[in-house]
Amino acid sequence: MNELPLTPHAKSPRPALDALRKDLIHEDGPRISTMRNYRFALVQYDPEVEFELRQEVQRLTSDLVAAGWTVLPISLQRLLHDRIRAQGPELAARVIRMEKRLAQSAQPTANAKALKHLEDRLAPLIEGPDGLAADCARIITDYITRHPEKTDRTLALIGRAGALYPFFRSSALLRHLDGKTMNVPVVLLYPGVRHGPTALSFMGELPVDSDYRPRIYS
């Protein structure tokens, strides 16, 4: 897949990740949140710079590892694929057949119906406390259970959210993760547009969501 062409408003994700790096590698410990026992943050970046973002994440990871950190990369895209495969081959085949049939229909609302059908089938795998949030929590807690001494120097870096568009709600993901990460710093890489101090629009396409508690780096 080719990188999207840059639009005039697109900006580099480097400053946001540099600020995150500085707050993580702080002499008094990670300072990515002003709230006690709430170690969540978002890095907002323009969807057009996805590939630059990945390069900067690699640089951040190398710097953290050199400073004695462990970085747990968590791909939401991979987690969803794993969940679909776990349902058996028939689920994916049925969803694809139905989507194609609806999309090829001559009805004016066919595309909307196809998207709604796909959303109905995938939403239970993505949303809620037993959705992708449960998988993220499991990865983090499994690691810290084996390495409890590394809690303060482990970063869970959740990415590839754009692959879940338009079904993903990041504010819900973080809400369901709260209290289930053994106080490990968790950062979500968020492709979208920022609107004011606390509001974001996923991919710059979905309605603005102001339900964000974590600090937003952008």
Region 69-91 average pLDDT: 90
Residue 144 gets the label, from left (phi > 0), alpha (psi -120 to 50) or beta, of alpha
Partners of 156 in beta bridges: 72, 186
User: Among 38-42, 84-88, 98-102, 188-192, which stretch is predicted with the lowest mean pLDDT?
Assistant: 98-102
Give per-residue pLDDT as tens, 135-191: 999 999 999 999 999 988 999 999 999 988 887 878 889 899 999 999 999 999 999
Per-residue pLDDT band at 5 (split at 50, 70, 90): very low
Region 39-66 average pLDDT: 95
| CA separation for the pair 177, 129 (Å, rounded) | 8
Region 128-139 average pLDDT: 95
What pLDDT sits at residue 2?
41
- CA torsion sign for 49, 50, 54, 55 is negative
Instruction: Give the Å distances, CA to CA, from 115 to 75, 90, 91, 102, 205.
Output: 23, 19, 16, 9, 15
What pLDDT sits at residue 6?
43
In a domain, 64, yes or no: yes
In the chain, the number of structural domains is: 1
What pLDDT sits at residue 1?
37
In a domain, 108, yes or no: no
Q: What percent of the chain has pLDDT over 70?
A: 88
In a domain, 192, yes or no: yes
What pLDDT sits at residue 74?
98
- 144 close to 182: Cβ distance less than 8 angstroms: yes
In a domain, 175, yes or no: yes
What pLDDT sits at residue 105?
65
Max mean pLDDT among 34-38, 87-91, 110-114, 147-151 falls in 147-151
What pLDDT sits at residue 28?
77
What CATH number should be reported for the domain holding residue 203?
3.40.50
Exposed, middle or buried: residue 198 (CB in 10 Å: 0-12, 13-18, 19+)?
middle
Q: Which domain holds residue 199?
A: 14-76+127-217
Flag whether pLDDT at 108 surpasses 70: no
In a domain, 81, yes or no: no
What pLDDT sits at residue 38?
86
In a domain, 4, yes or no: no
In a domain, 58, yes or no: yes
Helix 132-146 with 170-177: angle, nearest 10 deg: 40
In a domain, 147, yes or no: yes
What pLDDT sits at residue 58?
96
